[in-house]
């Protein structure tokens, strides 16, 4: 059964949090501008470990906030009355909590001044949060203090959360390595070939900064496995369309696993790991133990468990929706994904093909009914004429199905051009193209699929995907 909860229960148990980049208010603004973005990304990672929160993708609501909240353009704080007044203007369905503010670096000190805005029952509560520490040495500790104070203010603070949160910073103390790792996680989450290639290089660079940081290397190994599975899955479907061999995206995917691509990158990481272990045996063993006891160990092995351990990782939730609930429309995984990022492309793609599949299933029933009619008149003198009539009706149903499929996918591609580079879209477009081909071959004689409407569209889409892979593949290098 799909994992579902009532809307009231979801509303009560899970709060939607937006963490906006913090604004630099110091004298050396340009020099330290990136710190605010880094702190917000780090806090998103940290508070994402809390199952009671949906930590939303800030880009999905930032435009709304910038347009409606004047204080975002100013200090990032503003006075409380103005904040409350502006928040009350925004549709309640967009979010429950906002964490925003600024920071100031003076000498070797950093002071972060934030406000947590919580809206409930048409009222806005504001909780001030202020943290100070040395810079850059205590920046991780500053973020930890902010996360703990935010958790207290949201009333989700508990010992398990604190221990888990502190352990995350035990993985690495290298700020750049940590930043690149988080960027890699974000890059691969959209399931596009471009995202995969960016993630490969980000994880590689992350590990080169700190060879005792186990997480980027673990992600690289799993990314290689994901691409291998993709090659197998898409290769099998591509073989169904041998006439389109000139647009062989499958071949380019295979090249990504060659020695001078992902495998070569992983081997370079293994070499760096061996060198680090030889020079820093005790610390390497300690980091290895931390990793083996963490929720990241054996990640991607059990989708249900992964969704519990990583309740705001949108890619993991998508995999759980696929593997556990078989893309059920009422799945709680789907609901959580939409609360994090309602325009998440793989989600939109599955919703599209669920709708297409519903139409296909209706047509299948119509065709089966027409087939029964054919069977019932086989001994009749009018069998030949009626059979021809029914066959014509079946052909019309299939032709209408083709038009519907092409109309829906064409409209989707125009609305979301990047869908053409998405692995999920490519897989499902292939799958449903084959369903149409299979139906035509079974019911309609002398099918010239390659030059048919759906055949031409299939070739066009395959060419887009092939170009995307060809453009990105050279960027992957050790």
The string of DSSP letters for 201-268 reads: HHHHHHHHH-TT-HHHHHHHHHHHHHHHHHHHHHHHHHGGGGGGGGG-HHHHHHHTTSTTTHHHHHHH
Structure tokens at 196: 């995969």
- Is 232 a domain residue? yes
Q: What is the number of other CB atoms lying within 10 angstroms of the CB of residue 360?
A: 17
Number of domains in the chain: 3
- Is 188 a domain residue? yes
Q: Are residues 164 and 180 in the same domain?
A: no
Q: How confident is the model at residue 243 (pLDDT cuts 50, 70, 90)?
A: very low
Does the pTM surpass 0.75? The reply is: yes
Q: Are residues 290 and 356 in the same domain?
A: no
- Is 316 a domain residue? no
Q: Are residues 222 and 80 in the same domain?
A: no
Q: How confident is the model at residue 411 (pLDDT cuts 50, 70, 90)?
A: very high
Q: Are residues 60 and 207 in the same domain?
A: no
**413 Cβ neighbours under 8 A, 6+ residues apart:** 419, 420, 461
**212 Cβ neighbours under 8 A, 6+ residues apart:** 172, 276, 280, 283, 284, 287
- Is 472 a domain residue? no
- Is 458 a domain residue? no
- Is 289 a domain residue? yes
- Work out the percent of the chain whose per-residue pLDDT is above 70: 66
Q: Are residues 38 and 100 in the same domain?
A: yes
Q: Are residues 222 and 192 in the same domain?
A: yes
Residue-wise pLDDT for 356-380, tens only, equals: 999 988 888 887 787 777 666 655 5
Over the Cα atoms of the chain, what is R_g?
27
- Is 145 a domain residue? yes
Cα separation, 201 vs 352, whole angstroms: 32
What does the pLDDT average to over 44-58?
Answer: 80
Task: Quote the mean pLDDT of the chain.
Answer: 77
Q: How confident is the model at residue 316 (pLDDT cuts 50, 70, 90)?
A: very high
- Is 241 a domain residue? yes
Q: Are residues 162 and 81 in the same domain?
A: yes
Q: Are residues 12 and 143 in the same domain?
A: yes
Q: Are residues 16 and 147 in the same domain?
A: yes
- Point out the domain boundary residue: 263, 297, 331: 297
Q: Are residues 99 and 23 in the same domain?
A: yes
Q: Are residues 47 and 117 in the same domain?
A: yes
Task: Give the CATH number, domain containing residue 130.
Answer: 3.40.50.10070
Q: Structural domain of residue 103, as residue ranges? A: 7-169
- Point out the domain boundary residue: 169, 192, 218: 169
- Point out the domain boundary residue: 151, 169, 187: 169
Q: Are residues 266 and 186 in the same domain?
A: yes
């Amino acid at each position: 059964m799909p994992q579902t909860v009532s809307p009231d229960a979801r509303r009560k148990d899970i709060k939607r949090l937006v963490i906006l980049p913090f604004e630099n208010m110091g004298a050396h603004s340009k020099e330290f501008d990136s710190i605010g973005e880094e702190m917000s990304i780090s806090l998103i990672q940290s508070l994402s470990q809390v199952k009671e929160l949906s930590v939303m993708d800030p880009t999905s609501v930032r435009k709304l906030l910038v347009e409606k909240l004047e204080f975002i353009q100013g200090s990032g704080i503003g006075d409380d009355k103005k904040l409350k007044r502006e928040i009350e203007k925004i549709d309640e369905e967009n979010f429950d909590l906002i964490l925003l503010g600024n920071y100031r670096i003076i000498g070797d000190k950093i002071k972060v001044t934030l406000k947590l805005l919580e809206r409930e029952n048409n009222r806005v509560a504001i909780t001030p949060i202020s943290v100070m520490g040395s810079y850059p040495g205590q920046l991780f500790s500053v973020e930890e203090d902010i996360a703990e104070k935010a958790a207290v203010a949201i009333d989700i603070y508990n010992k398990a959360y604190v221990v888990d949160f502190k352990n995350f910073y035990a993985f690495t103390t290298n700020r750049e390595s940590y930043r690149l790792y988080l960027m890699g996680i974000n890059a691969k989450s959209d399931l596009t070939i471009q995202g995969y290639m960016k993630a490969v290089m980000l994880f590689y660079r992350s590990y080169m900064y700190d060879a005792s940081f186990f997480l980027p290397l673990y992600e690289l190994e799993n990314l290689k496995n994901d691409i291998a599975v993709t090659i197998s899955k898409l290769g099998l479907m591509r073989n169904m369309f041998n006439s389109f061999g000139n647009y062989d995206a499958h071949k380019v995917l295979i090249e990504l696993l060659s020695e001078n691509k992902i495998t070569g990158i992983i081997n370079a990481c293994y070499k760096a790991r061996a060198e680090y272990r030889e020079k820093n045996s005790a610390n390497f063993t300690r980091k290895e133990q931390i990793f083996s006891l963490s929720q990241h160990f054996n990640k991607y092995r059990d989708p249900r468990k992964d969704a519990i351990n990583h309740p705001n990782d949108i890619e993991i939730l998508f995999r759980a929706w696929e593997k556990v609930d078989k893309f059920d429309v009422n799945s709680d995984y789907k609901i959580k994904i939409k609360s994090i990022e309602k325009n998440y492309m793989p989600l939109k793609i599955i919703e599209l093909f669920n709708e297409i599949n519903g139409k296909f299933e209706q047509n299948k029933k119509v065709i089966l009914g027409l087939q029964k009619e054919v069977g019932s008149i086989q001994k009749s003198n009018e069998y030949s004429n009626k059979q021809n009539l029914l066959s014509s009706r079946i052909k019309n149903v299939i032709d209408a199905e083709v038009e519907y499929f092409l109309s829906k996918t064409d409209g989707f591609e125009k609305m979301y051009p990047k869908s053409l580079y998405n692995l999920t879209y490519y897989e499902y477009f292939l799958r449903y193209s084959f369903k149409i081909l299979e139906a035509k071959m079974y019911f309609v004689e002398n099918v010239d699929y390659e030059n048919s409407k759906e055949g031409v569209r299939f070739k066009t889409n395959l060419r887009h995907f092939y170009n995307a892979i060809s453009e990105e593949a050279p960027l992957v290098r050790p």
